[in-house]
């Protein structure tokens, strides 16, 4: 294990490979990934950023309904942006928190079938406020099902790890390891992606209310925007 058990999220220890300028600062944590895979990931993340900009413009023009932005969160989102052969993706769930129950149920079935399948599901701050989320996590641990929970909270009794959600290399390394860990019958794992949103939560928000337009905010955004930093690294 390179990551699990080596970084304690309760001590705010976070897996990072790149610094704010896109330079490799922890070469020992570099995942086994080819240059071609890195380039493909960058293309997807860059496309996501451009799509957000385009959709936001269309929404402001009244040509598009409300949508949720992922600007600044491309690194951890890219992991689920495409489905390779053998991967089944479910559509987004509108009922907040219910995806955890569904993921746990599917993982229970995969364990029963002895398929070797692993289930990955995500949620944000809202999902961690729902009781159903914790019921699902409790059931998953009780039955040691092969599921990876990705969110912004840490639960006791289950292996957990915190990763820089804006650092693609750190994310892909951690996720490859935890997926293999749960695939080998070790039960669920919690992954906290410490990420940073560069814009509004959705097109229904007014980000000016909680994101001041000043030099300090611009510097803070630039510090966390590894997608742009990677262009110059």
Active site residues: 197, 201, 210
| In contact, 167 and 226? CB cutoff 8 Å | yes
| Tokens (6 digits) for 74 | 């491309």
- C-alpha 23/C-alpha 233 separation (Å) is 6
């Amino acid at each position: 294990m390179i990551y699990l058990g080596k970084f304690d999220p309760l001590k705010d220890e976070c897996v990072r490979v790149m610094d704010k300028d896109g330079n490799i600062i922890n070469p020992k944590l570099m995942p086994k990934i080819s240059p071609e895979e890195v380039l493909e990931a960058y293309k997807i993340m860059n496309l996501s950023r451009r799509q957000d900009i385009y959709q936001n413009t269309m929404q402001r023009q009244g040509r598009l309904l409300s949508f949720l932005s992922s600007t600044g969160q491309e690194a951890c989102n890219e992991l689920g942006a495409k489905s390779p052969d053998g991967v089944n993706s479910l559509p987004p769930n509108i009922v907040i928190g219910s995806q955890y129950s569904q993921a746990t149920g599917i993982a229970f079935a995969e364990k029963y079938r002895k398929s070797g399948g692993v289930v990955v599901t995500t949620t944000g701050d809202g999902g961690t406020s729902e009781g159903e989320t914790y019921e699902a996590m409790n059931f998953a641990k009780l039955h040691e099902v092969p599921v990876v929970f990705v969110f912004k909270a840490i639960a006791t009794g289950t292996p957990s790890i915190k990763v820089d959600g804006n650092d693609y290399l750190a994310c892909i390394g951690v996720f490859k390891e935890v997926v293999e860990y749960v695939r080998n019958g070790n039960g669920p794992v919690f992954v906290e992606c410490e990420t940073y949103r560069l814009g509004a939560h959705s097109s229904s928000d007014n980000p000016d209310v909680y994101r001041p337009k000043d030099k300090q905010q611009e510097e803070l955004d630039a510090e966390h925007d590894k997608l742009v930093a990677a262009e110059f690294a």
